[in-house]
Amino acid sequence: MACQRSTTEVRSTLVVGNWKMNLLRNEALDLVAELGRLGAVANELVDVVICPPFTALTSLADHGMHGIKLGAQNCHFSQKGAYTGEVSAEMLCDVGCSYVIIGHSERRRDYNETDAEIGRKAHHALQVGLRPIICVGELLEERQSGKTLEVLFRQIDEIVETAGADVVSKSVIAYEPVWAIGTGLAATSAQVQDVHAAIRAHLEEITVSGAVPILYGGSVTAANAAGLFSCQDVDGALVGGASLKAQEFAQIVHEARQRTR
Ligand code: PEP
């Protein structure tokens, strides 16, 4: 189901690809070249960002990105030091990133990342010039027991408490219901619009700018993108699996362009 979108008020759209732990350097270069050929690049109304594994960042930055921006999938909350296996926000800037995904549900689940840590990461990332894409989302049982907004507001409040309202105002929020990630079971446009509108109202209540872009993530495909982008409070998408397929991702970018025409 498509949502209503006012034609008078048009914000720019952000399409972010999260490649997760996929693609060797040559495969990454081939995919970006193919996206360039398919015209899946930024214009004045649509920003396109891909977030490859750390190992492909330098190769991609060195070979040119066809107007697509680079982001990373995580960073540490400290500037430097004895943190074996970690990568700092400065290092990501150094290799050409302008965005970083923070608090993805896979990191919350697999590495026990807390909202306080996510807030610290967002704070540090922004300080060095990276724009954080802060992920929040509820589990299936939380949605089924009517706790979706309670969970999301608790996550947001703790992140804001740690990072500060100003940092979150300059970030991007990604609403990613955990039950929709990688399952093929995307939330409906109506479910997404309801949650995004509630998040925006809550952000304003806690003195975060209501103009923060709010992306939806969770089984976004070329087939459901148009419906999602037609929602008033959907400012773009965080795309996992479909961002690894050039045609599919290019079509999602195309749908984002249609929305902002
Ligand atoms: C994600 O990993 O952020 C994501 C939304 O994945 P998928 O699109 O595959 O559900």
**Active-site residue, 176 included:** yes
Q: Which atom of ligand 1 is nearest to the CA of 106?
A: 2
CA atoms within 13 A on the CB side of 122: 31
Do 237 and 252 meet the contact criterion of CB atoms below 8 Å apart?
Answer: yes
Kindly report, residue by residue over 51-99, the tens digit of the pLDDT.
Answer: 999 999 999 999 988 889 999 999 999 999 999 999 999 999 999 999 9
This prediction's pTM: 0.95
C-alpha to C-alpha distance for 112 and 86, rounded to whole angstroms = 15
For ligand 1, say whether the CB of 221 is within 6 Å of any of its atoms: no
Task: Return the domain boundaries, the chain.
Answer: 13-259
Q: How open is the CA angle 79-81-85, to the nearest 5 degrees?
A: 100
pLDDT of residue 215: 98
pLDDT of residue 261: 46
**Considering the chain, what percentage of its residues have pLDDT values greater than 70?**
95
CATH H-level superfamily of 13-259: Aldolase class I (3.20.20.70)
Do 249 and 223 meet the contact criterion of CB atoms below 8 Å apart?
Answer: no
Q: How far is the CA of 82 from the centre of ligand 1 (A)?
A: 31
Please list the residues that pair with 215 across neighbouring strands: 174
Q: Which of residues 151 and 66 earns the better pLDDT score? A: 151
What are phi and psi for residue 239, nearest 5 degrees?
Answer: -115, 125
For ligand 1, say whether the CB of 215 is within 6 Å of any of its atoms: no
